[in-house]
Amino acid sequence: MTFWDFCAPFYDLAEKTNGKAYDKMLKIVREIVPQGATVFEAAAGTGAISVAIGDRASRILCTDVSEKMLNVARRKAVKRGIQNIKIENQNIFELAETDNSFDVVVAGQVLHLIDNPEKAATELKRVAKSMVILPMSFTKNLRGTAKLGVNFYRLFGFAPKVEFTADTYKVFLPSIGFENCEYIQIAGKLPMAVAVWKKGGEF
């Protein structure tokens, strides 16, 4: 069992510890996604973003490698009555979709966890027709209860390959191929940002 399978039952509860920032992130992503867009979410976890944009997108494909996470996403989609969503297991390094097959691609809280973010970035950009949205929490240089909380998750197997501040995230994304992003910063117990990369580089 992976760390993500293990934490699937209480993952949403953990996110609520950073509730105001996380809710703000969901609101920002909703505002960015154009009404009627087709959306692909990679590494969706329990599907919080996919569910949040269910009434804006015309079609959503919500994917993750953890089937236990996806089972939580399925239950949430049913509870919310979202019928324009498909939920399936996919690996971010080998997406099954064709080039430019979705208007918007979303990949939140994942690029810091994987060994080859450059390969994942190439796949995300390939599938996107117009933009890639990249939300991220910042766990570097934390203090107080926020630091204690992140260290508690480490005890159970949380092991990011790299950790960011707002400034280092802005350096990291261009280094893996996401040049000229727009950044929307979010204050919180764990600070966050939503980065948006557009095909063609125009905002």
Q: Is 178 left (phi over 0), alpha (psi -120 to 50) or beta?
A: beta
pLDDT surpassing 80 at residue 111 = yes
Q: What pLDDT, on the 0 to 100 scale, is given for residue 184?
A: 98
**Strands 128-137, 102-106: pairing kind:** parallel
Give residue 110's pLDDT band: very low, low, confident or very high (50, 70, 90). very high
Q: What pLDDT, on the 0 to 100 scale, is given for residue 133?
A: 98
Closest CA to 53 of 137, 136, 133: 133
Cα separation of 94 and 120, whole Å? 8
Q: What pLDDT, on the 0 to 100 scale, is given for residue 202?
A: 62
pLDDT surpassing 80 at residue 165 = yes
Higher pLDDT, 153 or 108: 108
Q: Residue range 174-197: average pLDDT? A: 97
Domain regions of the chain by residue span: 3-198
pLDDT surpassing 60 at residue 166 = yes
Higher pLDDT, 150 or 1: 150
Q: Residue range 95-114: average pLDDT? A: 97
Q: What pLDDT, on the 0 to 100 scale, is given for residue 154?
A: 86
Q: What pLDDT, on the 0 to 100 scale, is given for residue 114?
A: 96
pLDDT surpassing 70 at residue 72 = yes
pLDDT surpassing 70 at residue 201 = no
Q: Quote the Cα angle for 141-138-10, to 5°.
A: 115
Cα separation of 59 and 92, whole Å? 19
**3-state DSSP call for residue 62?**
strand
* Continuous segment of H or E residues that includes residue 41: strand 38-41
What 8-state DSSP symbol labels residue 203? -
DSSP class per residue in 81-143: T--SEEEEE--TTS--SPTT-EEEEE--S-TTTSS-HHHHHHHHHHHEEEEEEEEEE--TT--
Q: Whole-prediction pTM value?
A: 0.95
CATH number, domain 3-198, options 3.40.50.150, 3.40.430.10, 3.30.70.2740, 3.40.50.720: 3.40.50.150
Contact between residue 129 and residue 199 where contact means Cβ atoms under 8 Å apart: yes
> What percent of the chain has pLDDT above 90?
80
pLDDT surpassing 70 at residue 177 = yes
